[in-house]
Amino acid sequence: MPIKSIFNILFKVYGKQNWWPGETPFEIMVGAILTQNTSWNNVEKAIDNLVFHDCLDAEKIIRIHEDQLAVLLKPSGYFNLKTKRIKNYCRWYLDQGGYHCLAARDTGQLRIDLLSINGIGPETADDIMLYAFERPVFVIDAYTRRLFSRLGLVDGTASYEQIRKLFEGKLGEDVALYNEFHALIVRHAKLVCKKQPECHQCCLVKKCDYAIENAK
């Protein structure tokens, strides 16, 4: 059962996801950092705080005091840590000349540069690569690992890079496909009942799992 078939099933069941849930590239970058090990619901509250205080902007984030920024980021959890990471990222972002300078950079180099920033790991970097810079980089998260190792399509112990290369090799360079696929994986995973994986209360999950089983 090819990886691409899973996409077709998920898309048929859930439809278009319209990711990333943020309008500007900068908002996407901030959201990618804030959502580290955190539910998107909490991240939205922090982003709303930034918007309300007119602080969703790299220069303003550089200027605002750490204590004050931490208050705005509080709902997203790990707020002291994320305050430093967001400030650190904005410092780098402005140093590099902002979006247009970065967008002119080669895809491989841009990813290496992002990964060199303290607080930006592989998944956060790839969220930014795919959704803010629209580069053909497949995002691997815990959901992707869980679902595809359960399906027997991925070795659960494989490294992040190994899994990413597997997906990119099978799917080909396709930004729109990567965008939709990762969003669908998250959408599906969120509807799975965590306490009882066998629970069939969520009809969408049931429908999707049924479709996947059938297609085997």
Partner DNA sequence: ACCCAGGGTCATA
Partner DNA sequence: TATGACCATGGG
Count of CB atoms within 10 A of residue 204's CB?
Answer: 13
For DNA, the closer of residues 107 and 215 by Cβ is 107
For DNA, the closer of residues 32 and 90 by Cβ is 32
For DNA, the closer of residues 116 and 214 by Cβ is 116
Report how many helices (DSSP H) and strands (DSSP E) the chain contains, helices first. 13, 0
For DNA, the closer of residues 59 and 118 by Cβ is 118
For DNA, the closer of residues 39 and 59 by Cβ is 39
State in angstroms the smallest separation of the CB of 158 from DNA.
10
Residues that bind DNA (CB under 7 A): 19-21, 31-32, 35-42, 45, 74-75, 77-82, 117-125, 127, 131, 141-143, 186, 189-190, 194
For DNA, the closer of residues 2 and 121 by Cβ is 121
State in angstroms the smallest separation of the CB of 81 from DNA.
4
DSSP string of 197-212, one letter each residue: TT----HHHHHHHHHH
Which tokens go with 197? 């994986």
State in angstroms the smallest separation of the CB of 102 from DNA.
18
Ramachandran angles phi, psi of 126, nearest 5°: -75, -30
* Distance in angstroms (rounded) separating the CA atoms of residues 193 and 11: 20
State in angstroms the smallest separation of the CB of 39 from DNA.
4
DSSP string of 142-185, one letter each residue: HHHHHHHHHTTSS-TT--HHHHHHHHHHHH-S-HHHHHHHHHHH
State in angstroms the smallest separation of the CB of 155 from DNA.
12
State in angstroms the smallest separation of the CB of 214 from DNA.
26
Contact between 184 and 17 (Cβ < 8 Å):
yes
Q: Which residues contact 182 (CB under 8 A, 6 or more apart)?
A: 19, 130, 138, 139, 141, 144
